[in-house]
């Protein structure tokens, strides 16, 4: 599966509302709320890094579509739309012990972990549409040059 538009991605993110991850790490974490909190934490820490924020936002898509093996598939699904960096962050985020010296990956993991227990108003998904469109448009321009 490849995501071809921000609208498709938004639909999947909306579908995460009320969904819980499968398996022992699932628990009471709502994928939709977790995604919003992760992205909001990344926005607070790195306001100019839209790709990092988007990586935090789209992490749960794979857990919804492919409960047993989400990491690589999520990265492959979003790469055509959101670019190589977002895909790389998603792929490495799920790998235990992968590049802990990578500041971006470390921030993503910290935000992901903090978002599991943090309680704050992270806004609504629609607030992220413009950011997703900006990252997708930037990736489309870069892809046309490559």
Low-confidence ranges of the chain (pLDDT < 50): 23-24, 26, 144-146
111-123: per-residue pLDDT in tens? 999 998 888 999 9
Give the DSSP per-residue string, 64-110. HH-TTSHHHHHHHHHHHHH-HHHHHHHHHHTSTTTTTT-HHHHHHHH
Global pTM value: 0.86
């Amino acid at each position: 599966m490849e995501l071809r538009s921000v609208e498709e991605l938004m639909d999947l993110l909306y579908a995460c509302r009320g969904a819980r991850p499968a398996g022992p790490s699932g628990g009471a974490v709502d994928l939709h709320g977790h995604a919003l909190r992760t992205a909001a934490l990344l926005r607070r820490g790195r306001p100019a890094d839209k790709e990092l924020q988007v990586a935090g936002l789209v992490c749960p898509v794979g857990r919804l579509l492919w409960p047993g093996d989400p990491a690589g598939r999520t990265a492959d699904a979003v790469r055509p739309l959101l670019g190589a960096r977002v895909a790389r962050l998603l792929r490495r985020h799920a790998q235990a012990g992968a590049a802990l010296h990578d500041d971006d990956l470390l921030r993503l993991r910290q935000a992901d972990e903090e978002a599991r227990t943090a309680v704050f108003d992270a806004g609504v998904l629609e607030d992220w549409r413009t950011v997703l469109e900006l990252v997708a448009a930037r990736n489309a321009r870069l892809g046309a040059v490559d």
